[in-house]
Chains A and B, each alone.
Chain A
C-alpha cells in the first residue's frame, strides 16, 4: 500500500504545483468571499426583506409577505439561495471541469516520459497500482477543490439564510463524477499517444460533441436512415456532458430529476475508458 500511497501523494502534489490549480483555488476563494461579504440577505422571521450585492440594492422592494414585487419572477429567500447555489454549481461544472482538465492533462504523459517512467516502474509497484495511485491523486485533489467551492458556498448560504437543502451536496458528487469521466478520456489519450495536446483536444472535443448530442431528440428526425442511428449510437456511447449540466442545476435548485440516464451512460463511458487505459498501460513497453 505504501507505494500506492506514494504515487497518490506525488500526483496530488504535482497537480497542486500547477498554477492553474492554484488559480482555481484563488477563484474559489474569491467566490466564497463574495458570497460571504458582498451578498447581504436581509432576513426577517424567515422571509427575505431585502438583498444587497456589493452594497447595492439588488431586488425591487419586497412586499409585506417577504416576496419581491409583483412584476417578474417572485423572489423568495429559498429562490435566492438555490439560485446562488445553482450559479456556483454551474460554474464549478463548466469552468471548474474545463480548467481542471487543462491542469491535469499533462500529468500522465509526463509520468510516462523517458527518465520518469523508469524511476516509477522500477519500484515494487504493479502498473495497475501506479495507474490507480495516479487517478486517485487527481480525483481527490479535484474533489477537494469542488468541496471547497460548492460545499463552502452551501454552508455559507445555509448559515446566512437558514435555508438548508442538503440535496445540493449531491451535485458535488456529479461535478466530481463528470470530471472523472472526462479525465478518463484524457488518460486514455495520454496512455495511447503520450500527447497532452491530443488528450485535451479529444476531451474538449467530446464536450463540444455533447452539446450537439444534447439536441439529439430534435436533430434525429431531420437525419436520414444512416445518420439517425449514428447520432443515437454516439448519444449512448459518448459522455453526455452537456445534459448532465441540467442534472447538476436541478439538484442545486432542488428540482425533481426526470432521468438519470445521461449520468449513467457517461459513467459507463468513463468506466470503459479507464479499463482500456489500464489494459494498454499494463501491456505497453517503455
Chain B
C-alpha cells in the first residue's frame, strides 16, 4: 500500500536573472512520507521551501531532482491529481460566476461527472453553509465565505488527499472552528490531509504528524507528541508526597501544574534514566503515595518550533 505522499531526495533550484545565471536552492534533498488517513502539518519559517514542496506535489512547479509520488503515482502525471483536492491560500474564482456555477466549473475540471456533480454540489454547499447563497455571484462573497467555497471546490471529487494552504487565513474564530471540525470529519471519513499553516495552535489541535522545513531541508519530522515531549521530564499527579521523600528525590513541586482534585498534588520529575525513574516510583510507593498519573512533559508546538527554527526573531511559520 503506497503512502499518500512519498517524497525522496527532492530538490528544487530556481534559476533567475538574465540567462538563468543566479540560482536559489529552495529544496535540498527533502524526504518524507505521509501515511494515509493522517492530518499532516508542514511548518517552517518564511522561505523555508514549504510552498515549493506543496507546489511540486501539485504539479505547479517542476522538481530539479529526486522523486515525489501521490499514492504511488509520480506527481508530474495528471493522473496523480485525480484523487486530490487543493485549497490554495489566496484563491481567486471568476467573479462573474455564482457559487453553484463555480463548483460546476471546477467540478468539471476535476473530472466529476455531471450527475455526481449535481448531487455533490448541493451537499457541499450545505456542508460549508453556503446553500442559501448558492445563486449569488462570488465577487460579493466575504473572505470567510470564499474560503468555505474554496473548501467545497476542493472536496468535489471526494479526494483521498486534501491539501490545505493556510485554510484559516483571514477567517474569524467561528469560521475557523467550522473549518477545523470539517477537517476532523474528513479525517474520520478516511481522507489524508496535508496542512500548511502558520497558526501553530491550529496545527497542534488537528495534526498528528508534522515536518519542519528550514532552508530547504527537513530538520524535524515525527508526531507532535514525540517532538514536543521534553526528554526525561515528567509531570506527576499523586497524593501529597512526604517532605523527606521530596527532599531526597529528583521530585519537585510542579511550577505550573494544578492538581485535578483537592486531595492531589502536581509534581515535576526529572529522571536521567529509566533506573532513576523506577527508583523514584519505588520510593513513592514505599511512602504509601498514591499515583494518579505520570506523563512526559510537553512543550507547546510554538515553543518547540521556535527552538528549532533559529534565529528565534523570525517566528512566522509561513513559507
Contacts and interface: CB of A to CB of B under 8 A. Distances in A.
A121 B59 contact: yes
Contacts of B106: 6, 119, 123
Contact of B92 (A6, A14, A113, A129): A113
A124 B79 contact: yes
Interface in A109-127: 113-126
Contact of B86 (A6, A118, A129): A118
A9 B105 contact: yes
B111 A118 contact: no
Nearest to B95: A17
A126 B82 CA distance: 11
Contact of A124 (B78, B88, B90): B78
B105 A6 contact: yes
A123 B81 contact: yes
The 4 closest A-B pairs by CB, nearest first: A6-B108, A115-B92, A122-B86, A118-B88
Contact of B109 (A7, A114, A117): A7
Contacts of A114: 90, 92
Contacts of A122: 58-60, 81, 84, 86, 88, 163
B88 A115 contact: yes
A217 interface: no
A28 to B, nearest CB: 22
A10 interface: yes
Given A2-B108, A6-B105, A10-B105, A119 B91 contact: yes
Nearest to A2: B111
Given A3-B110, A122-B86, A124-B81, A14 B94 contact: yes
Contacts of B112: 2
Contacts of B55: 118, 285-286
Contacts of A10: 94, 105, 109
Nearest to B92: A115
6 contacts: A3-B110, A9-B108, A10-B109, A13-B94, A113-B92, A121-B58
Contacts, number: 86
| Interface of A (DSSP majority class) | helix
B82 A286 contact: no
A124 B60 contact: no
B61 interface: yes
Contacts of B153: 119
Contacts of A126: 78
A203 to B, nearest CB: 23
A48 to B, nearest CB: 47
A116 B138 CA distance: 14
Contacts of A204: none
Given A6-B105, A123-B109, A124-B111, A116 B92 contact: yes
A137 to B, nearest CB: 12
Nearest to B80: A124
A123 B153 CA distance: 11
Interface residues of B, number: 32
B95 to A, nearest CB: 9
A185 B113 CA distance: 35
Given A3-B111, A118-B55, A124-B81, 9 more contacts: A3-B109, A3-B110, A10-B94, A17-B96, A122-B58, A122-B81, A124-B78, A285-B61, A286-B61
A113 B111 CA distance: 22
B221 interface: no
Interface in A38-83: none
A72 to B, nearest CB: 51
Nearest to B77: A126
Interface string B46-63: 000000000100111110
Interface in B85-105: 86, 88, 90-94, 96-97, 105
Interface string A175-215: 00000000000000000000000000000000000000000
Contact of B111 (A123, A283, A285): A123
Contacts of B61: 285-286
Contacts of B163: 122
Contacts of A124: 78-82, 110-111
Nearest to B93: A119
A282 B96 CA distance: 28
Nearest to A286: B60
A283 B108 contact: no
A262 to B, nearest CB: 36
A129 B81 CA distance: 14
A191 to B, nearest CB: 15
Contact of B113 (A2, A14, A129, A283): A2
A13 B137 CA distance: 14
B22 to A, nearest CB: 15
Contacts of B92: 113-116, 119
A113 B93 CA distance: 11
A25 interface: no
Contacts of B113: 2
A94 interface: no
Most chain B CB neighbours (cut-off 10 Å) among A3, A120, A285: A285
Candidate in A2, A121, A123, A124 with the most chain B CB atoms within 10 angstroms:
A123
Interface string A13-31: 1100100000000000000
Given A10-B94, A115-B90, A120 B109 contact: yes
Nearest to A6: B108
A117 B14 CA distance: 19
A148 interface: no
A228 to B, nearest CB: 32
A202 to B, nearest CB: 20
